Amino acid sequence: MTSVQKPLAQRWWVAAVSTWLWVWLNLFSAPVAHAHASSNSYLTLSTSGPALTLRADVHMRDLDLIFDLDANRDGQVTWGETQARSPELNDWLAQGISLTAAVQKCALGPADLQASEHADGTYLSAQWAVNCPGLSAAADAKDARLALRYDLIFAQDSLHRGLLKVDFGDDTFSALLSPERPEAQISRADNSPLKVFGRYVLEGVWHIWIGMDHIVFLLSLLVLAPLLPSRQRVVHWPAAPRARPVVLDVLAVVTAFTVAHSITLGLTITDWLTPPADFVEPAIAISVVLAALNNLLGFSALKRWRLAFVFGLVHGFGFASVLLDLGLPASALLAALGGFNLGVELGQLAIVGAFLPVAWWLRHTRFYRWVVVAGGSSAIVVLGVFWTLERLGWLA
């Protein structure tokens, strides 16, 4: 490289990194940047002796955004500050959560408000004793056709989800409530293995699409696929001349990731192995950093499918935490696991299908090597380090 070319390449490097850092950091400065710290509420409909009870757990962070609960502006929402707004909170919960039996609205009454701790912070827990027309006892609910509607927070956050778990003793049911699907039908007929399988396919697809750390990790492993490894820096790797080896390389990465996360997902759900979330979430963030560094440093001897498998084991624990939050139906456990895994795989294939044709078309260009590979991987390293520090609790 001549003395004129070298400064030019350096300017390309600085421009590429700066551009992609700006784009990625602005993109991920939104709530989705927190990856698995996305906004969820937890709903539980259950039988407790002769009573039918409904419980809703809503994150204090979400409540503070809506009600501005931090009265003294110290950056912390206390239980005292929350209790002072109890009448407003009760009214808000009542208008956003409803339960019907045979199209007749059930009476919820005043909610018992308490604070509860979840893995990702403090929640407001509201519990109601439910009185439904035509249901003389909780046991009748098992044979009734119920419908639960949830509309809280969707207007403020379109990515917010309500995770519903129904526990009627031997009959269990779960559903993911969203702005597009705010209502869940609850009946024995809806708990057949086939319908459970279909629901969990959708939940698997949705989870991979909102799991930004999974998406970024996967793209980090795919970005070098259209290039041929060489001893030079990755920005000088030549374009792959044939599509078949590229497609096989991508399939190897995706398959290794799927097999690995399926192993740990199954082990966790069956209680064979349950690592703490304090370990899993930082480890997933670290896997993002290492995958992107592999692109920048060009460890061509380390096959990317091996990275996909090793770190896919860790990502599987993250998938398992979502399934455990949803609550798995004991009567259709295999259908739920199989559906969720298939949904994750379909979600991954959709991402690959959108990325690979564009990468193949751009593989001959300096833009692809400097901006997409070098700049994009640098931005991912920064993002992954941020996630790691955040999940270790080192960022306020």
Q: Calculate ∠ Cα 290-294-298, nearest 5°.
A: 165
Range of weakest confidence among 178-192, 309-323, 342-356: 178-192
Whole-number Å distance between alpha carbons of 168 and 172: 6
Which uninterrupted H or E stretch holds 104? strand 104-105
- pLDDT exceeds cutoff 80 at 41: yes
- Single out the residue of 336, 324, 310, 339 nearest to residue 271, CA to CA: 324
Query: What is the tens place of the pLDDT at every residue in 288-314?
Result: 999 999 898 866 545 789 989 999 999
Q: Which residues contact 371 (CB under 8 A, 6 or more apart)?
A: 16, 19, 20
Query: 58 or 323, which is more confident?
Result: 58
Q: Supply the mean pLDDT for the chain.
A: 82
Whole-number Å distance between alpha carbons of 328 and 204: 13
- pLDDT exceeds cutoff 50 at 26: no
- pLDDT exceeds cutoff 60 at 187: yes
- pLDDT exceeds cutoff 70 at 47: yes
| HSE-up of residue 200 (Cα within 13 Å, Cβ side) | 29
- Single out the residue of 227, 355, 222, 235 nearest to residue 297, CA to CA: 235
Query: 24 or 105, which is more confident?
Result: 105
Q: Which residues contact 161 (CB under 8 A, 6 or more apart)?
A: 38, 39, 40, 41, 176, 177, 178
Per-domain residue ranges of the chain: 5-34+204-391, 40-191
The type of residue at 286 is I
CA distances for 42 relative to 62, 79, 163, 280, 336, angstroms:
13, 19, 5, 21, 19
Model confidence at 6, pLDDT cuts 50, 70, 90, reads very low
Q: Which residues contact 278 (CB under 8 A, 6 or more apart)?
A: none
Give the 3-state secondary structure of residue 28: coil
Q: What is the 3-state secondary structure (H, E, C) of 53-79?
A: EEEEEEEHHHHHHHHCCCCCCCCCCCH
DSSP assignments along 117-166, one per residue: EETTEEEEEEEEEEB-TT-SSGGGGGTS-EEEEE-SSTTT-TT-EEEEEE
> Exposed (0-12), middle (13-18) or buried (19+): which is 129, by Cβ within 10 Å?
middle
pLDDT, residue 347, reads 92
Query: What is the tens place of the pLDDT at every residue in 123-167?
Result: 999 999 988 887 765 556 666 788 999 999 999 888 788 988 888
pLDDT, residue 207, reads 78
The distance from CA 208 to its chain's CA centroid, rounded to whole angstroms, is: 6
pLDDT, residue 86, reads 93
Query: What is the tens place of the pLDDT at every residue in 87-132?
Result: 999 999 999 999 998 888 999 878 999 999 876 778 999 999 988 8
Buried b (16+ CB within 10 A) or exposed e, 82-93: beebeeebbebb
Query: What is the tens place of the pLDDT at every residue in 208-266?
Result: 877 788 899 999 999 999 998 887 888 889 999 999 999 999 999 999 999 999 999 98
- pLDDT exceeds cutoff 60 at 46: yes
Q: What is the 3-state secondary structure (H, E, C) of 327-376?
A: CCCHHHHHHHHHHHHHHHHHHHHHHHHHHHHHHHHHCCCHHHHHHHHHHH
Beta sheet of 161-168, edge-to-edge order: 112-118, 121-130, 51-59, 40-48, 161-168, 171-177
Whole-number Å distance between alpha carbons of 292 and 220: 5
Contact by Cβ (8 Å): 147, 100: yes
The model's pTM is 0.72
The type of residue at 395 is L
pLDDT, residue 188, reads 63
